[in-house]
Structure 1
């Protein structure tokens, strides 16, 4: 007779996909072949989706119960705790200083995503979902295609759309995003786009040294080893930030909700105390990814029948495809109207849709080594702003 699953089963189920996270952090350092570098970008987001699909399969085959008391605890704790961990690198002063033209271009890409969110809600119906659920999941997709999976999780945790719809959207969006990354790599040229225009001859050596320093610094954002003490301090600091933000949320006369306050507090700490948070970047990022995986694992377990999800997927696939297609079309139009560098537009689009690691991998695979650190930084900036933008869309636009 099969033993009943315990609280540790969900954590065990996501342990295998988590292995990809530690391979992915070496994406900046690995420079052997373009295909390897391009594929290496996938694990952080792919591991999250693997956790969801693995646990959904386990639930549908009876290995995991569809409901359990531990799921509520994970839903209550995973997203708030992961936000400070993943925003540990969101030093706004450094982002503004080191990203050059990428930051304003990223803002154009984020604007393209917000406009595409409105268009897709109006033009692509989802008859099997309520209008409110469509608005909520569109806002979550907006967060994902400006920031990343953690922003998607934060918006889902705040707005609470149907778990069935969340699982279906993630499964479909994973397919669309993978194809979109391939398209971006195909369209990008093999030239070397500049962040600040053509350098003068006397500046070239100094610029080369600065680019080497940036590339080395980018290695340091995701690659340094970490120990249990750093993990413990990172988790403790994250818990304190969450507690402080929740207390502040109760004291404010108009409550914005805990998630926006946690995000704001995390960004302020990363910006005001960069030297204090820097030693914990790698530990915080890895632990944040793990907590995000736990959240999506529970979404997978609670999503219901995989057959019903697959039945809804064609329309969901169109919904996700249209969202990214409108984003790309609008960004391309902005390129022609504003006379922007197309390669840089492709890179910031990758940073918006995929996040910092996929953007860095694209820069490495195209041998744009001087753009690796700026690409990482604008991706982290996406983490910082995506939740605010998506929640504002949900409350003021998608109504």
Structure 2
């Protein structure tokens, strides 16, 4: 066992630390303006990195495995329950296009970065799958691809270190860009101007606290949210297991069949697809459930804490420098293509920055940025559009991962 204050098998204490720190991160984000600007997600990550690097908690434990195995699958449908297909086009159709263009930036960046570094970083096919999926839909997709491609634990940890550092740096950059004259002169920025014209209208509350205000949530809402999510997870995982057994895969099978198995036999892809089918077939049922977004976001905060845990400083020194370059290239290409495409198609600066954020960090971090910046009219649309990344990110990651494997 690791020589840490809390041992890996002390499950109740580790669960407590994870839940308590997630709660602290959410509280700080909603209580203090500085924390609201950083975002609770970054606070959760940094806190976990500090706890693991100071020997308070171990870097590996069955508790963390449980988060990956149970919490993430539950969070996916819960975060999707609020999606309304009509609203996607009515409120978010404009942002959906730039989001997809930004996703192309991630794909291009991953391919460029892979060919530049494939001879220098081991398991880059698996890492490329994880990062391309993650940088289209966020951390949930990273977890899905890490589980699917079974990358070695130490490489996953090192990649998380590089990813966490890159995300933190990039989010800071995204927060600063709207204040820079260079970008203000070249892009329309109506939401920035609106906020600057109406400062002091929040009654002393942080923007995060205003957004996550108390809602009408009953015991029935909570029961239906969690119960429905569990039902969808069970059905989806059973279907995925069946398809995985029916569709052949392996070294002796064609690339196409491996791709089919990777797509239709993957439990996370089936889960997101089944959830969207349910939303399309029973829209009134899901519209009538309150609280799923809050519960799903809380679960994602538990995940934010856990992905910060393996971020060992020695691993940064040993493995992460090249990985940091790998993810930096992806992010830079994503940003360039997002800004160029946004300029060509006359998007607002705020829309461009939020979709790039949604690609790299997921809809919750993009919403956190919109909340922190006070871009109220963009919070709902980026949450809706960003959830599309949960689906297409896994497809993109699976496709690139299987292709990259043939090139090594």
Question: What TM-score does the superposition give when structure 1 sets the normalisation length?
Answer: 0.75
**Secondary structure of 2:291's match?**
helix
Q: 1:192 to 1:294 in 2, by over 3 A?
A: closer
2:258 aligned with 1:265: no
1:7 alignment partner, one of 5, 8, 11: 11
Whole-Å separation in 1 of the counterparts to 2:266 and 2:368: 35
Whole-Å separation in 2 of the counterparts to 1:24 and 1:360: 16
2:203 is aligned to none
1:380 alignment partner, one of 384, 387, 395: 387
**Secondary structure of 2:136's match?**
coil
**Secondary structure of 1:146's match?**
helix
For residues 338-353 of structure 1, what are the structure 2 equivalents within 5 Å? 338=345, 340-353=347-360
**Secondary structure of 1:101's match?**
helix
Q: 1:370 to 1:231 in 2, by over 3 A?
A: closer
Choose 102-111 or 230-239, whichever is displaced more: 230-239
Whether contact under 8 Å (2:133, 2:145) holds in the other structure is yes
Whole-Å separation in 2 of the counterparts to 1:25 and 1:264: 32
Deviations 1:351-399 (A, max 9, x none): 2223324333444555543323222222222233322222222224563
Whole-Å separation in 1 of the counterparts to 2:294 and 2:346: 40
1:318 alignment partner, one of 312, 321, 325: 325
1:117 is aligned to 110
Deviations 1:73-112 (A, max 9, x none): 5543333333223332343332222114111011100111
**Secondary structure of 2:319's match?**
helix
Shift of residue 247 of structure 1? Answer: 2.2
Whole-Å separation in 2 of the counterparts to 1:295 and 1:186: 27
Whole-Å separation in 2 of the counterparts to 1:383 and 1:223: 27
1:174 alignment partner, one of 160, 164, 168: 164
1:57 is aligned to 53
Q: 1:246 to 1:359 in 2, by over 3 A?
A: closer
Whole-Å separation in 2 of the counterparts to 1:367 and 1:77: 33
Whether contact under 8 Å (2:158, 2:315) holds in the other structure is no
2:233 aligned with 1:242: yes
For residues 64-103 of structure 1, what are the structure 2 equivalents within 5 Å? 64=58, 66=60, 73-103=66-96
2:393 aligned with 1:393: no
Whole-Å separation in 2 of the counterparts to 1:249 and 1:234: 22
Whole-Å separation in 1 of the counterparts to 2:66 and 2:328: 33
Whole-Å separation in 2 of the counterparts to 1:108 and 1:279: 32
2:164 aligned with 1:164: no
Deviations 1:98-129 (A, max 9, x none): 114111011100111111111111113573x4
Question: What TM-score does the superposition give when structure 2 sets the normalisation length?
Answer: 0.74
Deviations 1:136-158 (A, max 9, x none): 12221122221111111111111
Whether contact under 8 Å (1:168, 1:313) holds in the other structure is yes
2:303 aligned with 1:296: no
Q: 1:237 to 1:120 in 2, by over 3 A?
A: same
Query: Unpaired runs of 5+ in structure 1?
Result: 195-215
Whole-Å separation in 2 of the counterparts to 1:126 and 1:47: 34
Question: Could you say what the CA RMSD is over the residues aligned between the two structures, in angstroms?
Answer: 3.6
